[in-house]
Amino acid sequence: MANFLYLFWYKGGAQPQLSSEEMQKLTQRWITWVKGLGEQGHLVDRGQSLETGGKVVRGKKQVVTDGPYAEAKDVVGGFTVIKAKDLEEAVKLSAGCPIFESDGMVEVRPIRLM
């Protein structure tokens, strides 16, 4: 088994605006999905949701700018770490992710052992 990072991307740079009731329902779907990964033995770290703001530090001079970029079409909204036998299985396990309901995407990345 290997570890994989799920990066959750939202189109348009932000999570969808939902009513309180819709947000509760969506949160429950996320909890159910992540719990299912854990019950199947695939969850390594449930991850976290990320705030929309932040800073970017870049280059040899370590220039600090606001981020994520306002012109970005998609923004990472959170992450989770799972374990799977291979990349193909990790992709299949992402299928139930609630982010797809809002036309978001899951980037599946193998984690290299150091």
pLDDT of residue 59: 94
Range of the domain at 75: 2-110
For residue 32, CA distances in Å to 50, 82, 95, 97, 110 come to 19, 15, 13, 10, 24
Distance, in Å, from the CA atom of 47 to the CA atom of 71, rounded to the nearest integer, reads: 26
Look at 33-42, 70-79, 104-113 and tell me which has the smallest mean pLDDT. Answer: 70-79
Give the tens place of pLDDT for each residue, 11-20.
766 666 788 9
User: If you average pLDDT over residues 31-36, what whole number do you get?
Assistant: 96
Structurally, the chain folds into a number of domains equal to: 1
CATH number at residue 57: 3.30.70.1060
The pLDDT confidence band at residue 72, using thresholds 50, 70 and 90, is low
Residue 114's pLDDT is: 85
